[in-house]
Amino acid sequence: MIAHVYERASRCPLMADVLVATDAEEVASVCRSLGIPAVLTSASHPSGTDRVWEIAHGRGADVYVNIQGDEPLVTSRHIEGLIEPFLSSRETQVSTLKIRATAGEIEDPNTPKVVCDLQGRALYFSRHPIPYDRDRREQVPYFKHLGLYAYTRAALDRFHALEPSPLERMERLEQLRFLEHGIPVTVAETVDATIGVDTENDLRLAEARLLAGG
């Protein structure tokens, strides 16, 4: 799966350098056997963002993109959506993606949701359905957060220097550390659904999408 994600990420013309960062020698060994550049990182990192921070100290870049190895449906459009805010505004520090949530995803605590301000910056991420439809209008759009990120080096340094924040620990969502410390997160919308493979059922769904040309 990691080889598949690497190959798809490498298709994006905006990516100058793509590698696998892992704390598992088994994963690194497989990558080397396939000719995929891999870097062993510390096993003590509590999040993927901290792992990217370590990589950033050895590789200079304008923007660092974090793609999880369990996202086999990632596309160039996803990555371009992450990078575009940095090209259009020098004030962008962190970016991520959202997509309309399905009816089944709205109530699912394994599916983080996000609400944004009118400028497309995240107000909050939660495993709970947000926003709350008090008047039951049934026209309220709910957005699922896709766990793909891009950051400046300065944002990575700030994140790593900070202790996990209270809401981050409560919701178990690392991106809340940025918000709790006043670091804006730009959220771009996509219509291209992904499947993060966390279970056997996820794997079957992803395989079916790929076989269908997804």
Six-digit token pair at 53? 């921070």
Q: Give the up-direction half-sphere exposure of residue 106: CA atoms within 13 A in the CB hemisphere.
A: 11
pLDDT of residue 129: 95
Q: What is the pLDDT of residue 213?
A: 67
CB 45 within 8 A of CB 23: yes
DSSP state of 100: E
Cα–Cα dist 97/104, whole Å: 19
Phi (first) and psi of residue 172, to 5 degrees: 60, 50
pLDDT in single tens digits along all 214 residues of the chain? 888 899 999 999 999 999 999 999 999 999 999 999 999 999 999 889 999 999 999 899 999 999 988 888 899 999 999 999 999 999 999 999 999 999 999 999 999 999 999 999 999 999 999 999 888 877 889 999 999 999 999 999 999 999 999 999 999 999 999 999 999 999 999 999 887 777 788 778 878 877 776 6
Amino acid letter at 30? V
Residue-level pLDDT at 17? 93
| 11 phi, psi to nearest 5 deg | -75, -20
What does pTM read for this prediction? 0.90
Q: Is the dihedral of CA 153, 89, 141, 74 positive or negative?
A: negative
Q: How many CB atoms lie within 10 A of CB 80?
A: 16
- Indicate the helix (H) or strand (E) that contains 103: helix 103-106
Domains, the chain, in order of start with CATH, read 61-211 (3.90.550.10)
Residue 205: how many other CB atoms lie within 10 Å? 15
Give me 131's structure tokens: 């926003």
